[in-house]
Amino acid sequence: MEHSLNILLSGTVLLLLTTIPGIRSQSSPAAAPAPPGPTNVTKILEKAGQFTVFIRLLKATGVANQLYGQLNNSDNGITIFAPSDSSFSGLKAGTLNSLTDEQQVELVQFHVIPTYVSSSNFQTISNPLRTQAGDSADGHFPLNVTTSGNTVNITTGVTNTTVSGNVYSDGQLAVYQIDKVLLPQQVFDPRPPAPAPAPSVSKSKKKTKEDGDSSDDDSPADASFASRKVGSMHNAVSFCVMCASLAWFYL
């Protein structure tokens, strides 16, 4: 009887230990929440919709993989100006197909800034912005952003547009919708190369020319001297003939 009572008490204690809040969690800690998945730009754009053409270009040029590596293997932020499908419809027919593979890469990279820019930072940003396309100097890949009230204006020297919406922002990646494709100057408005400087005259050629000029200047003087010399000889001969004639006359 006493043995049965002890078994009953032990079972009751175990039941209480497993059902009282707090006690069970101390004996078996809860599992940590799963880490967030890697940031994927194309999936973010697919979820937002209306960016089909830009997604295709991101994948075809390899820029999508480049952005994936940057976002998940470094602390560097990224800002993307994503053109909507309607913005590509505004381009002249055949524009994208007329570009070389390198130019298509530059076009896509021109929409990517290698730093995180929040919507409030646009008011104090320094122009021109450097994009992942490269040199931001005039004639290459300049991108200028200005604000007017709540409007964010973007100009490339070829395209003028505005930010029409915030697609995504997490402190490392910011994606903004724009309604025109950003066309870089180097691809769509290339500047003619600077003219080559005029060749300078070498010293030897200049000296030769001066010597030639000197020779030409001396030639008239030499001719005049020779003419006077011939005239003097002619006068002397004439005088001798006249003297001989007079002598013969008196004889």
Enumerate helices (H) and strands (E) in the chain, giving the number of each.
Answer: 9, 6
- The structural domains of the chain, ordered by start, are 41-187 (2.30.180.10)
pLDDT one-digit tens code per residue, 23-45: 444 444 454 444 467 789 999 99
CA distance 239 to 236: 5
pLDDT one-digit tens code per residue, 183-200: 999 888 876 665 666 666
CA distance 48 to 54: 12
CA distance 103 to 71: 24
Contact (Cβ atoms closer than 8 angstroms) between residue 189 and residue 70: no
What is the model's pTM?
0.64
Residue 139 pLDDT: 65
Nearest to residue 142, comparing CAs of 101, 108, 85, 183? 183
